[in-house]
Every structure is written in structure tokens, then in C-alpha cells.
Amino acid sequence: MANQYALAQGNCCGFGPYPNPIAIVYTDDRECTIIVGFGPDSALDIRDIVTVELELKRLLPDCRVKQVFLT
């Protein structure tokens, strides 16, 4: 499982039940919102910002993703 990150607006913490491609999200920074997500590698292409935002909106309806990246 790769670490998946998205830079977004707002602060949050959420859990998505199986079979969501994003199982856990939480914010990791006070200056800007870094959403750290965990889920099955094959369930979501983290490089596709539109898809990431759509999936995050299932857990966080007001989420707006500005950037995505892997570590």
C-alpha cells in the first residue's frame, strides 16, 4: 500500500467502509490541509486528481483537491 496524499481545503477526519477505494482520510497540517489516505493500491489512481476528488467527496462532500502526490 502506497502513501497517498492530497492537498485540499478544509480540515477533516473520515473512515470509508469497504469497498471504498479510500479507507481512511485525515488532515496532517495546520497551515494547509494535507489529506493522508489509506486504501488498496489498485482501487484508485492517485495521479488522477479528478478521480481522487470524486472519491474524497463521498466521505467529505465539500472537499476540493488542489494537488495529489505519492511518497
> What whole-number distance in Å separates Cα of residue 9 and Cα of residue 34?
8
Could you tell me the CA-to-CA distances from 63 to 1, 31, 42 in Å, in that order?
23, 16, 22
Q: What is the pLDDT of residue 13?
A: 73
- Residues of the chain with confidence (pLDDT) below 70: 1-5, 7-12, 27-34, 36-41, 71
Q: What is the pLDDT of residue 30?
A: 66
CB 14 within 8 A of CB 59: yes
Three-class secondary structure of residue 24 per DSSP: strand
DSSP 3-state percent helix, strand, coil across the chain (nearest 5): 20, 35, 45
Q: What is the pLDDT of residue 19?
A: 77
Name the residue ranges covered by the structural domains of the chain: 4-70
